[in-house]
Chain A
């Protein structure tokens, strides 16, 4: 029989590492639903020390780990001994993925939520029913739903209703009130013979698909993690109290089974309305404040998302290909006001008013570029992205090394959020800068080609020459204002006219 003169290497290294600990080393099996590992650890270790070891072995961050032993969750401050963890026993491990983490953080942080809601940007976004409607309608599942249930499209087309919904979403207190009223109304309804069945039928026909649509829409999209709102449909057929769809939401609140008020959830859900929204009369699509708020660019969650995006090109790809993103871009491009607000409020640009100015001017072009399928495919191609980043870095280096050479280049910070596309746009701010010489010109032209923007070699004045003439022929004599309007609308005369008219005092 071999002698154990050389002790277990594992034990040895551990005793070396845990020299301070009195170290009876025990071997504990750590089991996840997928695999298991045996980990040697000092018997008197704390749970957080144990987690350290585990995080190395399982290649996960320590705060992503949740340990369970004998039906209890092990807290970092506890010791293994406290829980009776001994040699040969098994501890269960759950690794929390990023999405869940974000979800949890957000849900546990109502202040963050209210901060987001109070953000004027969010509010302005929500007070624009057209924008909201566009976003909702663009979702293919919603479209399906609308085909099946024309009432829903009526609902969406009713600006009054949308506005009210937005109001509600903005104001959680008001929402709770509404829900309570509806709970009561519905329970009254139930007492009517046949009422319950009718309600139930309507639920299964309308609400369920709507919710799965809504849920999937928000769920297939990294933004949903920010929203933390996978439960924005609060329904369950077998319970008697709840959730009816709304064929005719603003129909008279009479007791007829056909026109019914929708309800919110049970007490459970009402108490958690800030984070999960059940649809109600005035909030037909269960638009939750959190998910809306989190569609915005300047929540802290978004920032960490941005960080991750730069670390993970795949994520960027996913994000861009999400249909939701695309529709948002579309709506943004059709609404230059909001888009400019979005960008100016973005903390990336916040510290740099000069940048903001430039962005604002370039905005319509930028947005067009985002729409351009070519640039989109560039963005989703990780190699292309990497190349773009390299170019950008190169330019940055050049700028620091030879500042005199490239006065017209925008600092790399501009492109931090969405590398590539803004860079060519940025470079095209030629009108404001001294005319480039030689190599600069070459560079710029290269970049312009990149951008696929062909109209950008000239100043806006030149570009919009024709439109300016038309406008002045129509009677808009303020050339400055005309130019601004044209720039903002990217040369679209009709939109420019609307802008000009809108800005005139009535």
Chain B
């Protein structure tokens, strides 16, 4: 099972996808998610967020895990926030469901269950199909750096949302 998702499969896919995106064709969900899987394993980006499948055997590529490293010079500094991301059947046309597992106090995140209200996050409110799990995580991290959030008092480390 796992072999299907190895790195080797990718160059072909990314070429196809680049071509597809350029011509305005909708990229099939699974291709897109496979590429995101690969990017997650290769650590594409600046190393401040990480993502991957929750379960390697998940053939539907639906349930993902994300990790955000709290940005420096904010109250989130050096904490690690674990998230769950669910990419539904209509992803990437529709945004994924995102929720924090690690407890956090952040505008746009429900205090009771960690669910992220995408409409409340300005950079994600107007979802584009070019957005990805990485974009979601990076935008949430950027959100932590906003003035209105960067000093919000936080629960002690290590707590998780009970829901």
Contact = CB atoms under 8 A, between A and B. Distances in A.
Interface stretch (B11-19, B25-33, B152-160): B152-160
A69 interface: yes
A266 interface: yes
A50 to B, nearest CB: 15
How many B residues touch the partner, as a band?
A: 35 or more
B138 to A, nearest CB: 13
B155 A272 contact: yes
A70 B53 CA distance: 7
How many A residues touch the partner, as a band?
A: 35 or more
B150 to A, nearest CB: 12
Interface string B100-119: 00010101000100000000
A235 B2 CA distance: 46
B68 to A, nearest CB: 9
Interface string A57-96: 0000000001011111100000000001010111110101
Main secondary structure of the interface of B (DSSP, over half): loop
A381 to B, nearest CB: 31
B40 A70 contact: yes
A104 B41 contact: no
A90 B44 CA distance: 8
Contact of A88 (B7, B52, B64, B156): B7
Given A89-B41, A90-B42, A233-B153, A31 B158 contact: no
B155 A268 contact: yes
B69 interface: yes
B52 A276 contact: no
B78 A97 contact: yes
A107 B50 contact: no
A92 B50 contact: yes
Interface in A218-265: 228, 230-231, 233-236, 238-239, 265
B82 A73 contact: yes
A71 B153 CA distance: 25
Contacts of B75: 230-231
Interface in B111-163: 111, 151-159
B48 A33 contact: yes
Nearest to B38: A89
B52 A33 contact: no
B2 A84 contact: yes
B92 interface: no
Main secondary structure of the interface of A (DSSP, over half): loop
A100 B53 CA distance: 29
A248 B112 CA distance: 32
A32 interface: yes
A238 B148 CA distance: 10
A72 B103 CA distance: 16
A86 B6 contact: yes
A58 to B, nearest CB: 13
A449 B31 CA distance: 80
A268 B67 contact: no
B22 interface: no
Given A69-B50, A100-B78, A268-B111, A86 B7 contact: yes
A92 B111 contact: no
Contacts of A233: 153
A234 B151 CA distance: 10
A239 to B, nearest CB: 7
Interface in B58-80: 64-67, 69, 72, 75, 78, 80
B40 A236 contact: no
Nearest to B2: A84
Nearest to B51: A71
Interface in B70-100: 72, 75, 78, 80, 82-83
A13 interface: no
Contacts of B158: 104, 107-108
A68 B80 contact: yes
Contact of B52 (A32, A72, A231): A72
A373 to B, nearest CB: 33
Given A69-B50, A71-B65, A97-B78, A31 B153 contact: no
Given A96-B78, A103-B157, A276-B156, A91 B43 contact: yes
B65 A70 contact: yes
Contacts of B69: 33, 68, 92, 94
Contacts of A361: none
B24 interface: no
A184 interface: no
Given A103-B157, A107-B156, A272-B155, A71 B52 contact: yes
A275 B156 contact: yes
A236 B43 contact: no
B158 to A, nearest CB: 6
A183 B108 CA distance: 23
Contacts of B72: 33
B47 A32 contact: yes
A426 to B, nearest CB: 42
A154 B83 CA distance: 46
A91 B47 CA distance: 9
A212 interface: yes
Which 6 A-B pairs rank lowest in CB-CB distance, beginning with the nearest? A70-B52, A90-B43, A71-B65, A31-B47, A71-B51, A231-B153
Given A33-B72, A97-B78, A233-B153, 20 more contacts: A33-B47, A36-B47, A68-B50, A68-B80, A69-B50, A70-B50, A70-B52, A70-B65, A71-B64, A73-B80, A84-B56, A92-B67, A107-B156, A107-B157, A108-B158, A212-B151, A231-B153, A268-B155, A272-B156, A275-B156
20 contacts: A31-B47, A33-B47, A66-B80, A68-B69, A70-B50, A70-B51, A70-B52, A71-B82, A73-B80, A84-B41, A90-B41, A92-B69, A94-B78, A97-B78, A107-B157, A231-B153, A234-B153, A238-B107, A272-B159, A276-B153
